[in-house]
Chain A
Amino acid sequence: MVWYIAKRVVYSLLILLGVTFVTYLLLYMIPADPARQIAGRSATAEVVANIRHQLGLDLPFYEQYVRYLGNLLQGDLGRSYVQRSEVSTLLASRVGPTLQLMVAGIGFELLIGITLGIVAALKRNSVLDQVLMAFSFIGVSSPHFIAAMLALYFFAVYLGWFPLGGYGGVEHLLLPAITLGVLGSGWYSRMVRSSMIDVLHQDFIRTARAKGLGRARVLLRHVLPNAIVPVIPMIGIDIGIFMSGLVVVESVFGWPGLGQLAWQAIQQVDIPIIVGVTMLSAVAIVLGNLVADLAVLFVDPRIDVTKT
């Protein structure tokens, strides 16, 4: 068990190292010369060469990577030449709102997904089941930007129930979070439905019923705890999909998080910021997966890690 956890942690660290290499490659591929951007148009070749030397841009490829890694460890993610500011400072000011929206959005995903999955499984093959599954299908087939724009139009402009985007209280948070929740819930509802059906067919459920337990008790004590286990690793995987949606939803709703920062950076072709957000999301995904995989071990003691 300890061996498995250690292996899993080391592997995550290796993946993170790989992530830094990819982000480094992306930054290396930028066609514009950062030294010239800093020096300005009128600078002499000598000044540019000087800056290039200071930044280490005249070093060979791998030495520059080592330097980049060293900088990363000190929290230096590079510089945005468009905004004339450190990428890490820009990112730090955006993490809070993004975390808020993430927690709320994933919360709605789980709430909607698990509820619909349970209902669909209990009413299997009924009209309700088909409607719910169609709903989940439409959710996962809809691009976030369209859903977000139509939700904004319908609920904020037409009905006037919510403010027209922006940041602030719960009323600002609800609409983007529900949009994310509805679109992402499809994966969960389909998964919960099929895992519920699996569990419902197992012997111990028949035993529980045979010994005379009530329907509600069988459902709450025996079926649900077992059916919900696969949801945990799913959250880890979902973070990746979720982050993509977040970028778009934040930019449509004007939510001042990392996604909006990335969107603004796209409009100004400010690649260091885009790469910074990409890296931060990758870290979130790796950590999320690690935590989810380890959490499952504690939730479900039947999982035998010596076999994996």
Chain B
Amino acid sequence: MTVLKALLKRKTVAIALLYILIVVAAAIFAPWLAPYDPAKQFFEGLTLEGAPLPPNADYWLGTDLLGRDLLSRVIYGAQTSLIIGVVSNGIAVVIGTLVGVTAGFVRGWLGSVLMRLTDLMMAFPALLLAIALAAILQPSLWIVAMVIAMVNWVQIARVIYSETISISSKDFVAVERTIGVSAPRILFSHLLPHLLPTILVWATLGISTTVLLEATLSFLGVGVQPPKPSWGNIIFESQTYFTSAVWLVLFPGIAIIALSLSFNLVGDALRDELDPTLKGRS
């Protein structure tokens, strides 16, 4: 609670949290909030020449190439971004934490194998590996979520690993060991509580990475597939036409950037609040 209060005191972070709340609300209440059916192609949604309409009184954000209402599609697109953001990033955090803690606390051959594996994963550009996997596995919403989790756990694993090493080398852990406290007990009642702030920070920052990766994959055509709207595939569908209908890129684009920026801001502020070693440094 005190952390939340401290976060809300920062104006930019408060705005970021508000925006996240709005997106969550848009995703949950999309059927009631969206003015139209996102898949419905309106005859009046196109000009006589068949071009999409710019923002106007009927279609607040304009229409797309098929005469569908852009605002409704953007509202429904929030569902896709958040589902991927939460599910995929959740899986990545779990895998990353398991790998990091195993490598840093259990160590042994399993630990070194896992760290070599993360080194290997670091050698690949996340986007290209995700593209290759998504192209082979043929994308659906859940496959995309899995693919993103499979390339995004690495960062968290490395952070948790070094954090685990530094906590395990503290005196109190050595004392616990000498007085004969069992390893699982040290792990669950001492190590994990100390790791929690780090996990929380990186889970927040990770949503930003995840949202961006989903949007990019969808933009490239190997992400969430139309007609299911995602902010990335709205832009994918209109990329050939965007120089004459820039609103089709601008509005979903702003939605994506604002969401990713918000999670970055909140994550960064969380790190400042939760990590006492950073206090008063910047």
Question: Number of residues in B with C-beta < 8 Å to the partner?
Answer: 44
A131: min CB distance to chain B, Å: 12
Question: Contacting B235 at CB < 8 Å: which of A124, A149, A194?
Answer: A149
Q: Does A54 contact B (CB under 8 A)?
A: no
Q: Is the CB of B132 within 8 A of A240?
A: no
Q: Does A192 contact B (CB under 8 A)?
A: no
Which residues on the A side are within 8 Å of B230 (C-beta)? none
Which residues on the B side are within 8 Å of A245 (C-beta)? 127
Q: Is the CB of A271 within 8 A of B256?
A: no
Question: Contacting A286 at CB < 8 Å: which of B123, B216, B281?
Answer: B123
Q: Does A266 contact B (CB under 8 A)?
A: yes
Q: Does B239 contact A (CB under 8 A)?
A: yes
Question: Number of residues in A with C-beta < 8 Å to the partner?
Answer: 51
- Who on chain B is nearest to A284 by CB? B125
- Given contacts A263-B220, A266-B221, A271-B132, is CB(A146)–CB(B257) below 8 Å? yes
The docked-state distance in angstroms from the alpha carbon of A74 to that of B243 is 45
Question: Contacting A281 at CB < 8 Å: which of B122, B124, B235, B239?
Answer: B124
Which residues on the A side are within 8 Å of B216 (C-beta)? 143-145, 244, 248
Q: Does A267 contact B (CB under 8 A)?
A: yes
The docked-state distance in angstroms from the alpha carbon of A197 to that of B282 is 8
Q: Does A141 contact B (CB under 8 A)?
A: yes
Which residues on the A side are within 8 Å of B268 (C-beta)? 137
- Given contacts A266-B131, A274-B131, is CB(A244)–CB(B126) below 8 Å? yes
The docked-state distance in angstroms from the alpha carbon of A30 to that of B134 is 11
| Binding stretch for chain A, among B35-43, B87-95, B182-190, B245-253 | B245-253
B261: min CB distance to chain A, Å: 4
Q: Does B212 contact A (CB under 8 A)?
A: yes
The docked-state distance in angstroms from the alpha carbon of A146 to that of B251 is 10
Q: Is the CB of B249 within 8 A of A150?
A: yes
The docked-state distance in angstroms from the alpha carbon of A236 to that of B3 is 35
- Who on chain B is nearest to A246 by CB? B125
Q: Is the CB of A248 within 8 A of B220?
A: yes
Name B's interface SS.
helix
The docked-state distance in angstroms from the alpha carbon of A240 to that of B155 is 13
The docked-state distance in angstroms from the alpha carbon of A29 to that of B135 is 11
- Given contacts A26-B132, A141-B208, A274-B131, is CB(A248)–CB(B219) below 8 Å? yes
Q: Mark A140-165, 1 if CB is under 8 A from B, else 0.
A: 11111110011011000100000010
A105: min CB distance to chain B, Å: 14
- Given contacts A266-B221, A271-B132, is CB(A137)–CB(B265) below 8 Å? yes
Q: Does A114 contact B (CB under 8 A)?
A: no
The docked-state distance in angstroms from the alpha carbon of A269 to that of B132 is 10
The docked-state distance in angstroms from the alpha carbon of A18 to that of B126 is 16
Q: Is the CB of A271 within 8 A of B265?
A: no
Which residues on the B side are within 8 Å of A112 (C-beta)? none
Within residues 23 to 71 of chain A, which ones have a CB less than 8 A from any CB in chain B? 26, 29-31
Q: Is the CB of B136 within 8 A of A29?
A: yes
The docked-state distance in angstroms from the alpha carbon of A266 to that of B236 is 13
The docked-state distance in angstroms from the alpha carbon of A261 to that of B92 is 29
B144: min CB distance to chain A, Å: 14
The docked-state distance in angstroms from the alpha carbon of A147 to that of B136 is 28
Q: Does B222 contact A (CB under 8 A)?
A: yes
Question: Contacting A150 at CB < 8 Å: which of B131, B250, B261?
Answer: B250
Which residues on the A side are within 8 Å of B260 (C-beta)? 141-143
- Given contacts A138-B261, A145-B235, A149-B239, is CB(A15)–CB(B136) below 8 Å? no
Which residues on the A side are within 8 Å of B127 (C-beta)? 243-245, 247-248
Q: Does B129 contact A (CB under 8 A)?
A: yes
B226: min CB distance to chain A, Å: 14
The docked-state distance in angstroms from the alpha carbon of A124 to that of B256 is 30
The docked-state distance in angstroms from the alpha carbon of A152 to that of B250 is 12
Which residues on the B side are within 8 Å of A274 (C-beta)? 128, 131-132, 135
Q: Does A178 contact B (CB under 8 A)?
A: no
22 A–B contacts, CB within 8 A, in A order: A15-B119, A15-B120, A15-B123, A18-B116, A138-B261, A145-B219, A149-B239, A149-B242, A149-B253, A150-B249, A197-B282, A240-B122, A247-B220, A248-B216, A251-B220, A271-B136, A274-B128, A274-B132, A277-B128, A278-B128, A281-B124, A282-B123
- 5 additional A-B residue pairs with CB within 8 Å, beyond A143-B212, A150-B250: A29-B136, A124-B282, A240-B122, A266-B221, A271-B135
Those 4 A-B pairs whose CB atoms lie nearest each other, nearest first: A244-B127, A146-B253, A141-B261, A243-B125
Spell out B's residues near A (CB within 8 Å): 12, 116, 119-120, 122-129, 131-133, 135-137, 208, 212, 215-216, 219-222, 232, 235, 239, 242-243, 246, 249-250, 253, 256-257, 260-261, 264-265, 268, 281-282
